[in-house]
Amino acid sequence: VTATAPSPRPAPSSPALAPSPAATPSASAITWKPNVGFSFTSDDGVSRADRSFIRNALRQAVRLFPYPHRVDARKPTVAVFIHSTNGEMTRPNEIAEVRTQSIHVFVGTKGWRGAGPIQQRQAMFHEWVHVLQQLEASAIASPVWLIEGTAEWAAWDAMARLGFVERSDIRAFEVQAARSIDPDRRLRRFESQAFYEHDREGRNYALAYLAVDFLHPRRGWRTIIRFYASFVDGWQNAFADAFGVSLTRFYPKFERSRAAGFPP
């Protein structure tokens, strides 16, 4: 995740933590119960404040996106590495990234240093959603804009659930950022790693957020996680099932909305 993100509001002093209970006891086998462990490793140069902030935000993320649903006696462990330098960063302008069952945070970067606590917390939630995507659908490559867009959408949604931000403020910010992307750069083109290229300001993340918002995940973050958990017949079928539209039909609809300036 890059550092570009809005911080429309100061954090309330005591955000209510209320992960909503599972809505429907439907046919799904999903048990929304957190079951994951962390191991934390920090470079010597990492401050105590950064360390405890990251630890706290990720533990909060687990409760906001309770994992796992698979019946698995083994509790997955996610390794968190907090780096004081940029040496191990794979892409420039990042503040954090996810590798195989691990999260890397680069607290020495300008991006992290320049971000406020809202952006930093949202970034940790974003990475946590990537971990869920990986645990649920590890081997299948789905479009990059969708991976980033669902992480971005679910992370801001979680910030809104906690009362840190208003959804309408986030959307307005993302619309503003996405409007400055060359209209010839269609969303479809960001199925590939091209998503990450020539995007110092992270505007492609805004476009991806709006694409997911346009999909209207009916049950919010649960729809998103369920989508990643249902790749058995390929992600294309899972997409249509989760969002009620095929990707082929979605693209032109979204581009029309985009051309109209993303009306609500």
Q: Which residues bind Zn ion (CB under 5 A)?
A: 1, 148, 151
Distance CA 264, CA 254 (A): 12
Q: How far is the CB of 152 from Zn ion (least distance, A)?
A: 7
- Give 1 or 82: the residue with its C-beta nearer to Zn ion: 1
Q: Which helix (H) or strand (E) holds 212?
A: helix 203-214
Cβ 101 to Zn ion shortest distance, Å: 15
Which one, 50 or 148, has the nearer CB to Zn ion?
Answer: 148
CB of 1 to Zn ion, least distance (A): 5
Which residues have C-beta within 8 Å of that of residue 31, sequence separation ≥ 6? 22, 69
Residue nearest to Zn ion (CB): 1
Is 3 within 8 Å of 114 (Cβ atoms)? yes
CB of 263 to Zn ion, least distance (A): 27
Instruction: Kindly state the tokens that stand for 233.
Output: 């017949």
What kind and span of H or E run contains 211? helix 203-214
Least distance (Å) between residue 192 CB and Zn ion = 15
* Closer CB to Zn ion, 95 or 107, in the complex: 95
Choice between 62 and 96, CB closer to Zn ion = 96
- Left (φ > 0), alpha (ψ -120 to 50) or beta: where does 244 sit? left
SS3 label, residue 261: coil
Q: Which is nearer to Zn ion, 33 or 208 (CB)?
A: 208
